[in-house]
Amino acid sequence: MNVIGKATLNWEKYTEYVQRETINVKEHLEDSWYLDIRYKVPHEVESIVWSCMRKIGEFKNGPIAIPKEEIVEEIKKHQQYLTSMNLYWDLMFYNSDAAEIRSGELVVVVPSYVIEKVMEFENVDDIPVNELRNRIGAADSGSHEVTQKYDLSRNQMKNKISLLTIIGEIEGHDCLPATTKTTKYEHVLPKLAELEDNPDTEGLLLLLNTVGGDVESGLAIAEMIASIRKPTVSLVLGGSHSIGVPLAVSTDYSFIVPSGTMVIHPVRMSGTVIGAKPTYDYFKQMQDRIVHFISTHSKASEKRLEELMMNTGILTKDLGTILVGKEAVEEGLINEVGGISEAFSRLHQMIEKK
């Protein structure tokens, strides 16, 4: 989330909240703050709330949790530092129930009533440039240059392009820790549906730098991208590993930067696994789905993909293959080695041709 303003934390109110949650909630479970706000905030905010709480029980409509002692101590340290330096918390989210605040690398969610907003930022992109100049007193002098955030529709070709980034780990049906950078399928799928149905959008540029993640979620996004009728181009930056491979090949045309990497390996699963034939069959079925999708949307054959998956000579702790830059092109996974300029050029050509 972006910073939407600056705020101060009322320490007296916060400590009262912690005390009430820690002591009173154990006797009156229905008064749990987490239980009250879990469905009143966006999913990404709720996941941060949960990372700050310690579960102590269950109530009829959900888990009962209280603030973690170590999180309270961290908030206290940051509060003392900010107060001594006359600084403010970054405000990331705010409604009548909860507020997300940040100081350095610490990101927490607290009840909104313990927060006092100092200032709330406006979205500069929604303000006309002339009005911005007037606000800073530069209407006549021209001594200040006001620029707005670049929009992918403001290009020489006048093509309206939508940008989608797949970064970090692709999150499945369980929330990952708040410290992990993730791509959430429940955010991506609606955007892709909107892109397909929006007559003003003419193409999609997909930027990838992902370690992979949940197979079902990754395949769902890949299938959605592959089914879009408008021109689509992908660019692998850094890496597109594991389930990131189907995502990279799901577009009409694909690029990878010279130093970009792609890791192809067999399906893995964490947690308890039952050592029985049905488990193996399930793994094999899942792997076949991935291999079939990749081969259908690239020049690589299923046989060659399985050979790359089962390679024992590259990864020290796993089976698989690492492909760097042009190697991904030589194996038929990616169309071309190139960067952002080549990706834009190809997408504009495809849009104009269509």
Are 202 and 353 spatial neighbours (Cβ–Cβ below 8 Å)? no
Catalytically annotated residues: 242, 265
Quote the CA–CA distance of 219 and 178 in Å, as a whole number. Answer: 23
- What distance lies between CA 18 and its chain's CA centroid? 30
Quote the CA–CA distance of 66 and 53 in Å, as a whole number. Answer: 5
CA angle (257 as vertex; 253, 262 as ends), nearest 5: 80
Quote the CA–CA distance of 94 and 117 in Å, as a whole number. Answer: 9
DSSP string, 185-225: HHHHHHHHHHHHH-TT--EEEEEEEEEEE-HHHHHHHHHHH
Quote the CA–CA distance of 290 and 301 in Å, as a whole number. Answer: 12
Are 163 and 36 spatial neighbours (Cβ–Cβ below 8 Å)? no
Quote the CA–CA distance of 17 and 26 in Å, as a whole number. Answer: 14
* 232-240 vs 203-213, strand pairing mode: parallel
Percent helix, strand and coil across the chain, each to the nearest 5: 40, 25, 35
Nearest C-alpha neighbor of 65 from the set 95, 21, 28: 21
Which residue carries 């045309």 as its tokens? 253
Quote the CA–CA distance of 224 and 197 in Å, as a whole number. Answer: 13
Sign for the CA dihedral angle at 199, 202, 207, 210 comes to: positive
